[in-house]
A and B are shown apart, each in its own frame.
Chain A
């Protein structure tokens, strides 16, 4: 009997990724020139896609309250869209619920022993159920990288489907932690493993923001292409969330151009695409205000209610 490594088998099935080629492709996004009304549209769209995040040991109910306030009212000028969600630890979900329940801003909670995922399955499942019970609309889980890298794909997928079931009606976001998978082939493989377990509208997400390297145009592109291939093969629309490392409005626009040119118009909304970020929001606001007033505003004219990754 010929025994093959399961990662190689999967890559044979879904096709490989060439590193030099994909990086050349995404470099073209950075040369697009977005001006005037198209810039305004992009900035507003990006603002509406932010999962405003705080994930720190020092998070408190008060800190979360101010994050929620910022999410609901990012700036004191009219017409600025609200962000998509606040993204917090499970223990903070019930505090956030007091401020944003009943508003368009959703509560996303990381769970499953975020960021490492190194806890017994029972514990991780319990964490998901508790977060949902406390009011989380979305659960950001981490995949079992240990199982992935040792080729135990059934285990990876079984866990994802267990978390999906535990989510009930809440949306699931599957964090691949791309920097720990390292290669584009691995990222594509993990994307497919996850997507095959997901419902339409669930997300795959690049990273936790807790490692040295997070969302890049390269890993974003690999995942967008995986979503496209999965959609064309099955009809299931999976959403995407790059997280960590996107700090400037300019970067956010480049990521959105990748969405526009890879998945098209149907993914250019906050049900299909999100940014996991905190510092990004104020830069988007700064650029929006620059477009509105014609001049750059001082940094202190934007409220600082988020920090983290």
Chain B
């Protein structure tokens, strides 16, 4: 067969059958101004200050969010501390009832919350509807089941709650991270002061109404909003028995330092630069699908995103061709549209950061590939981006971009793949693609990462512990391991 004819042969992904807009129409019920949720009530902040919450979808203002100062955070801790006594003494089965109720209420209002999450954070409605909301409810269901079984976690031992836990969560999965944090804390009898990220506070504040509807005793969960200073107040409050943080490495280090010597327990879930490793015997189309899911899920705003693709050198052209073809069919645009695969970048700051890192990739000589796609004029958007010919010392191979940008590197042997995969300060997750089971087990045992997916990527379950090695943090969330982070073993 003459191979030279190949060059002109390509598939046409054109506009013969263009989809009409299919916007999700359910109302999000976002109010013009929120209060802080302290002691079971929405209260005005003592700071008297508010800041705007912007929708990355169109850059328009959605709501005003209270800016909690140290006095507000103190009020939250005081009421959480008061509530701790009766909450921790409730029989586990009773605490479980509240958690089951919260889970069911979340399910009841999932459409409304999904729309709010998409408006506030920019993720495609298909993801908030089919992933964030069901998973958030699943975490409450899962931990509701634990609440009355704590005596059986470790035979002969008793699990005691810690007290008030301070929790600071990121903007990439606002409601889901809230569920990851609040559910195990409540199941084990702790009370909570939670601070959502400043760009995505709305679903946390809406969640307060679910807590009220569930009849959760006042003060058991308190939600304070604001930026870094509020977070510092939450982390450094003397009543905090434990801090759980998910977010950036810089902030994680600050928290780690400030907690030294305080006796507070700490779990950190920080960044990642995961290697997604594709061997030449992998099922290629499914690997491509997994690569796409690994890096473009939630616009790449995922700490465990498969942002470094390691491809066996013999198939790199094949994989790149298939990836480009797949990218041609990804739909980028209005996150509220039910057919959108890649939505809006969470904030202007994040968009700028992505643009800067992409520029560094071009400047350092990596080859950039972007599909032709029309981006909305307003709001914050970035096209799905591939970089080929990337080497270990490129910035885009080292730094966490936290956007829809994939760096493609190659390897020749399994040893080289391991070496490159582990050659990073991070160690949150990794992926292995091969048709050979024994190779999966060999790779998994040598990769220094908290989560390793085989022939799939970005799969989560409340019963599966999640967390990292090295600078990706410590402690686990989910499963029995995650539960133990919220107790003293007696």
Q: Which residues of A contact B (CB under 8 A)?
A: 15-18, 20-22, 24-25, 31-39, 41-42, 45, 225, 228, 231-235, 256, 260-261, 263-266, 268
Q: Which residues of A lie under 8 Å from residue B284 when comparing CB positions?
A: 15
Q: Which residues of A lie under 8 Å from residue B281 when comparing CB positions?
A: 16
Say whether B456 faces chain A, with CB atoms less than 8 Å apart: yes
> Which residue of the partner chain A has the closest CB to B329?
A261
A70 to chain B, nearest CB (A): 26
B283 to chain A, nearest CB (A): 4
A45 to B14, CA, bound (A): 16
Q: Which residues of A lie under 8 Å from residue B329 when comparing CB positions?
A: 260-261
> Which residue of the partner chain B has the closest CB to A222?
B285
With A15-B284, A31-B126 in contact, do A233 and B12 touch (Cβ < 8 Å)? Answer: no
Instruction: Select one of A22, A33, A232, A266 contacting B338, CB under 8 A.
Output: A33
Q: Which residues of A lie under 8 Å from residue B9 when comparing CB positions?
A: 231-232, 235
B12 in contact with A42 (CB, 8 Å) = no
A233 to B2, CA, bound (A): 10
Q: Which residues of A lie under 8 Å from residue B289 when comparing CB positions?
A: 21, 24-25
Q: Which residues of A lie under 8 Å from residue B11 when comparing CB positions?
A: 228, 231-232, 263-264, 266
Type the 1/0 row for B1-19, where 1 means its CB is closer than 8 Å to any CB of A. 1000110011111111111
A66 to chain B, nearest CB (A): 32
Say whether B435 faces chain A, with CB atoms less than 8 Å apart: yes
Interface centre among A17, A18, A232 (most CB of B within 10 A): A18
Q: Which residues of B contact A (CB under 8 A)?
A: 1, 5-6, 9-22, 126, 130, 281, 283-287, 289-290, 329, 338-339, 435, 455-456
Determine the main DSSP class of B at the interface with A. loop
B20 in contact with A38 (CB, 8 Å) = yes
With A24-B289, A31-B126 in contact, do A265 and B20 touch (Cβ < 8 Å)? Answer: no
B20 in contact with A16 (CB, 8 Å) = no
Q: Which residues of B lie under 8 Å from residue A231 when comparing CB positions?
A: 9, 11
> Which residue of the partner chain B has the closest CB to A256?
B17
A252 to B393, CA, bound (A): 49
B456 in contact with A20 (CB, 8 Å) = yes
B193 to chain A, nearest CB (A): 37
A122 to B8, CA, bound (A): 42
> Which residue of the partner chain A has the closest CB to B14?
A265
Q: Which residues of B lie under 8 Å from residue A34 when comparing CB positions?
A: 19-20, 22
B394 to chain A, nearest CB (A): 29
A180 to chain B, nearest CB (A): 22
With A24-B289, A33-B339 in contact, do A18 and B283 touch (Cβ < 8 Å)? Answer: yes
With A18-B283, A225-B285, A266-B12 in contact, do A31 and B456 touch (Cβ < 8 Å)? Answer: no
Q: Which residues of B lie under 8 Å from residue A22 when comparing CB positions?
A: 285-286
B19 in contact with A234 (CB, 8 Å) = no
A261 to B327, CA, bound (A): 10
12 A-B pairs within 8 Å (CB atoms) are namely A16-B435, A18-B455, A21-B285, A21-B287, A25-B289, A31-B338, A32-B339, A39-B20, A42-B17, A232-B11, A233-B6, A266-B12
B18 in contact with A25 (CB, 8 Å) = no
With A32-B339, A264-B11, A265-B17 in contact, do A21 and B22 touch (Cβ < 8 Å)? Answer: no
A232 to B284, CA, bound (A): 15
A275 to B311, CA, bound (A): 38
Known: A21-B289, A231-B9; 11 extra A-B contacts, CB below 8 A, are A15-B283, A17-B283, A20-B286, A21-B283, A21-B286, A31-B130, A35-B21, A41-B17, A234-B1, A264-B11, A266-B12
A31 to B16, CA, bound (A): 20
B22 in contact with A260 (CB, 8 Å) = no
Interface centre among B15, B16, B286 (most CB of A within 10 A): B286
Interface centre among B1, B5, B339 (most CB of A within 10 A): B339
B435 in contact with A268 (CB, 8 Å) = no
A22 to chain B, nearest CB (A): 6
A23 to chain B, nearest CB (A): 10
Q: Which residues of A lie under 8 Å from residue B12 when comparing CB positions?
A: 264-266
Q: Which residues of B lie under 8 Å from residue A31 when comparing CB positions?
A: 126, 130, 338
A261 to B5, CA, bound (A): 24
A25 to B1, CA, bound (A): 32
A232 to B290, CA, bound (A): 22
Q: Which residues of B lie under 8 Å from residue A15 when comparing CB positions?
A: 283-284
A38 in contact with B130 (CB, 8 Å) = no
Q: Which residues of A lie under 8 Å from residue B15 when comparing CB positions?
A: 265
A36 to B18, CA, bound (A): 11
Instruction: Select one of A20, A32, A225, A264 contacting B19, CB under 8 A.
Output: A32
A112 to B13, CA, bound (A): 37
B422 to chain A, nearest CB (A): 25
Q: Which residues of A lie under 8 Å from residue B19 when comparing CB positions?
A: 32-35, 38
B109 to chain A, nearest CB (A): 21
B283 in contact with A268 (CB, 8 Å) = no
B60 to chain A, nearest CB (A): 24
A233 to B10, CA, bound (A): 10
With A31-B126, A33-B338, A266-B11 in contact, do A17 and B17 touch (Cβ < 8 Å)? Answer: no
A45 in contact with B17 (CB, 8 Å) = yes
B266 to chain A, nearest CB (A): 36
> Which residue of the partner chain A has the closest CB to B325?
A228
A42 to B16, CA, bound (A): 11
Q: Which residues of B lie under 8 Å from residue A235 when comparing CB positions?
A: 5, 9
Interface centre among A31, A33, A42, A261 (most CB of B within 10 A): A33
A37 in contact with B20 (CB, 8 Å) = yes
A268 in contact with B16 (CB, 8 Å) = yes
Q: Which residues of B lie under 8 Å from residue A41 when comparing CB positions?
A: 17
B455 in contact with A38 (CB, 8 Å) = no
A56 to chain B, nearest CB (A): 34
